[in-house]
Amino acid sequence: MPISKTYERPNIQSMTGYSSGEQPNLAGIIKLNTNENPYPATPAVAAALADVRVEDLRRYPQPLANEFRRVAAEYHQVDVENIIPTNGGDELLRLIITTFVDAGDTIAIAEPSYSLYPVLAQIQGCEVARISLREDWTMPLDFAAQLNACGAKLAFIVNPHAPSGVLTPVVQLEQIAEQFEGVLVIDEAYVDFVDPDKHYNAIPLLARFDNVLILRTMSKGYSLAGLRFAYGIGSTALTSPILHKTRDSYNTDVISQVLATAAVRDRATAALSWDKVRQERTRVTAALTALGLECAPSQSNFLLARVPQGDSRYENCELMAREFYQRLKDDGILIRYFDQPRLRDRLRITIGTFDENQKLLQFLASYLSNH
């Protein structure tokens, strides 16, 4: 059989696509690998879903999801024109790149980070500048200077950071926004899990800087990962061209608009689950530390845990981390292992319910004790 001709663009042919976490549809599996909220969406969301009629699906949805935009704008105390609704956070990231970056331009990321960023950059034919975080996963103090030095048109900062959960203070984000000559995207996918006593709020930056765009999602804090709904918040210099030029027509559907609106209206109830996650995060961090797994100080709904160091049973810590991941998987507990520099001796563990976390801890304690 003759070899078929490829029709891909050269940059697509040579790239590697995004690899998502495992999503098995098996009973009894404990999923602590994709940072989903372990608790269901609020009763208000369930009621809104029950009220959706088949008749409502006959017509196209409201093109700009204006009711959602109105509710979100009121929540964040911004204008409706500052809100961009999208089909998940990943669509917003793609739209940002499509709108503001030409092929051949440079996109910068703080490394390590969300692995989709470089994939989207490659799709657009962009160069990727990788700026290493410090050993404690914090931003280098000269981050903005490095961005400008490499000629970046766009930079991504995920805050709290993934995969460590470390939070960058607003004052440092402010300094970066002020000095950076390009568009700064602050990806706040996990912001709902930040401790309230941190008083973290980056929204006021938008009143001062027209080069800042903040990403928010319904997937994590609002327990709606299956809905695929997110939104951006930024100055009209950034939101207007996306809303009115590059956004796909009818990019969010009727059901997602209704449920996302109900979720934001009922955020006080959703916040109860955020508090549960924080409590479990504290407990699990202490338990893992007691077992010898050092954890980064997370402000997210996951932990980045380093396997015990200096264990004579293993040639190196990377082998130990891979074995932990595989043995847990064999036992029906999914966590995340990244075969990447600086992460190969670590495991990312999503915070689950008390019972789910307890099974994980019991397995690790038993394994470390018996082996």
Q: Are 278 and 195 in contact (CB under 8 A)?
A: yes
Q: Is the pLDDT of residue 27 over 90?
A: no
State the Cα–Cα distance between residues 166 and 275, nearest whole angstrom. Answer: 18
pLDDT of 199 above 90: yes
199 against 312, higher pLDDT: 199
Region 161-183: mean pLDDT is 98
Whole-number pLDDT of residue 315: 54
Is a pLDDT exceeding 60 seen at residue 128?
yes
- Separation of alpha carbons 229 and 329, rounded Å: 29
**3 pLDDT band (50/70/90 cuts)?**
low
Closest CA to 297 of 195, 173, 145: 195
Instruction: Kindly tell me if the per-residue pLDDT of 220 is higher than 50.
Output: yes
* Overall average pLDDT of the 159-166 stretch: 98
Alpha helices in 61-115 (DSSP H): 66-76, 88-100
Region 80-98: mean pLDDT is 98
**pLDDT the model gives residue 45:** 98
Q: Residue 371: its pLDDT value, please?
A: 64
| Residue 342 to residue 111: CA distance in whole angstroms | 10
The DSSP 8-state label assigned to residue 244 in this structure reads: I
User: What is this structure's pTM?
Assistant: 0.94
Taking 90 as the threshold, does the pLDDT of residue 303 lie above it? Answer: yes
> In the structure, what pLDDT confidence band is assigned to residue 22 with cuts at 50, 70 and 90?
confident
Distances (CA, A) of 338 to 45, 119, 147, 343: 34, 16, 26, 6
Tokens of 327: 């043995």
Residue 193 near residue 301 (C-beta atoms within 8 A): yes
Both tokens of 153, joined, read 């048109």
pLDDT at 56 over 60: yes
Q: What are phi and psi of 154, to 5 degrees?
A: -150, 140
Question: Quick check: 116 pLDDT over 80?
Answer: yes
Per-residue burial over 343-371, b if 16 or more Cβ lie within 10 Å, else e, is: bbbbbbbbbbeeebbebbbebbeeeeeee
pLDDT at 5: 76
What pLDDT is attached to residue 12? 86
Higher pLDDT, 187 or 2: 187
pLDDT bracket for residue 246 (50, 70, 90): very high
pLDDT above 90 covers a percentage of the chain that reads 88
Architecture of domain 43-265: 3-Layer(aba) Sandwich (3.40)
Question: What is the residue whose two structure tokens read 């006021």?
Answer: 204
Q: What is the structure's pLDDT at 7? A: 86
Alpha helices per DSSP H over 201-304 = 205-208, 236-241, 254-265, 267-290
| Cβ-contact 17, 122 below 8 angstroms | no
Average pLDDT, the chain: 94
- DSSP letter string, 106-133: EEEEEES--THHHHHHHHTT-EEEEEEP
Give the residue extent of every domain in the chain: 21-40+269-370, 43-265
Euclidean distance between CA atoms 182 and 144, whole angstroms:
10
Give pLDDT, residue 72: 98
Q: pLDDT band at 314, cuts 50/70/90?
A: very low
Which is more confident, 320 or 69? 69
Least confident of 14-28, 122-136, 163-177, 261-275: 14-28
What's the pLDDT at 324? 92
Q: What is the average per-residue pLDDT within 220-225?
A: 98
End-to-end CA gap in the chain: 52
167: pLDDT strictly greater than 90: yes
Superfamily of domain 21-40+269-370: Aspartate Aminotransferase, domain 1 (3.90.1150.10)
